[in-house]
Amino acid sequence: MKDLYDDIDHVLIDEATLQKRIQELAATITADYDGIEDLMLLAVLKGSYMFLADLSRSLRRPHAVDFMGVSSYGGGTKSSGAVRIMMDLKEPIEGRNVVIVEDIIDSGHTLSYLRRTLLARNPRSLRICSLLSKPVRREVEVPMDYIGFDIPDEFVVGYGLDFDELYRNLPFIAVLKPEVFAHLYQ
């Protein structure tokens, strides 16, 4: 079997840079939630699992964690705009202070849909934290409270983000070699 790293064209955000920025985000959120009770991190599966693990460990406020599974992509690299809830939260969010934890905001369709859906459940507050953002790709505006990095219009993998369910386990954010995508266009 080939080595995982053979498919990488280049590293966009290395491990140290990622970790340093996540510490900064955690410090900001910790400060913002001073005196606020009942904080809940709502992680959007699957892409945000690694980000959630590091962010959650660095937060100095007591918080619950819950998960939601949504799907907006098939096996490809372009969003269809159609979002579906594949797995819902275990707990109600009414009256709670919720921070959505996402891996990346691209077109904005996923977070726009999630935000509307969750606001209808009457949380006390709802904020959004995304590790990555591709500003030039935005089709719908979504109010973002915390963003780790703005990145260019390139398909990225690693640190939870996948291509065709693979490469999530890379500890950095990377761009794949063009030939890895080749089978999509045949």
> Is 106 among the residues that bind Mg ion (CB under 5 A)?
no
Q: Which of 11, 58, 117, 155 binds ligand IMP (CB under 6 A)?
A: 155
Q: Please give the C-alpha separations between residue 107 and each of 104, 112, 137, 177, in angstroms, as whole numbers.
A: 10, 9, 5, 23
Q: Which of 25, 42, 43, 110 binds ligand IMP (CB under 6 A)?
A: 110
Size of the site for ligand IMP (CB under 6 A): 17
> Is 109 among the residues that bind ligand IMP (CB under 6 A)?
yes
Candidate list 32, 34, 103, 106, residue with the active-site label = 106
Question: Judged by CB, which is closer to ligand IMP: 25, or 157?
Answer: 157
Instruction: Show the binding pattern over residues 34-53: x = contacts ligand IMP (CB under 6 A), - = does not.
Output: -------------x------
> Is 106 among the residues that bind ligand IMP (CB under 6 A)?
yes
Please give the positions annotated as active site: 106
